[in-house]
Amino acid sequence: MGLLVVSISDMKFSRRREDVIVTYSLGSCIGVTAYDPGTRMGGLVHCLLPTAFNSRHRAEDKPFMFVNTGVARMVRALVEHGADRDRLIFKAAGGANMRGDSLFNTGLRNHEALCKLMEVNRVSLSGEDVGGTIPRTMFLHLDTGRVVVRSLGKEKEL
């Protein structure tokens, strides 16, 4: 098994069935997976902020930092490498309200930006574990497309 670790403001994708893509410490950040069951190709992006509208120069340098540019860039990379956009299955985790973030509500805003992006592109999430006040770790298993979220020592499949 190859473990591909996605850092904050990063994205990884693979088509190797033995790979597992993981991102740790999803607090107010949001993690999004996209998986094509036909090619068994998938990706995972770890977005820090909702939109790049006020930070276009930062989005050029770090497109995966933002939900609106990061998810789109991940989908584009998957399609460019052979995934079928119409078969992609999307799942999300994170978007928590972490201590000290009640002023900006970053987690909620990240989730809202993702929902808006999905609506505009006429796709939907087939599973999500968002909100609350706990951090999460998210795994995408490329052999099956299974997405597992781990938090506080417990796991659940989306």
Name the band, by pLDDT with cuts 50, 70 and 90, for residue 51. confident
103 pLDDT band (50/70/90 cuts)? Answer: low
Question: Which whole number is the average pLDDT over 132-140?
Answer: 94
**pTM, 2 dp:** 0.92
Domain that holds residue 97: 2-157
- Non-local (6+) Cβ contacts of 61 within 8 A are none
Alpha carbons 17 and 117: distance in angstroms, whole number: 28
**What is the structure's pLDDT at 56?**
63
CATH number of residue 24's parent domain? 3.30.1330.200
Which pLDDT score is estimated for 101?
Answer: 57
Which two structure tokens, joined as six digits, stand for 88? 């992609």
Produce one character per residue of 13-26: b if its CB has 16 or more CB atoms within 10 Å, e if not.
Answer: bbbeeebbbbbbeb
Mean pLDDT of 44-69: 82
pLDDT at 119 over 90: yes
Look at the chain and report how many structural domains it folds into: 1
pLDDT digits (tens, 9 = 90+) for 73-100: 999 999 999 999 999 999 999 999 876 6
130: left (phi over 0), alpha (psi -120 to 50) or beta: beta
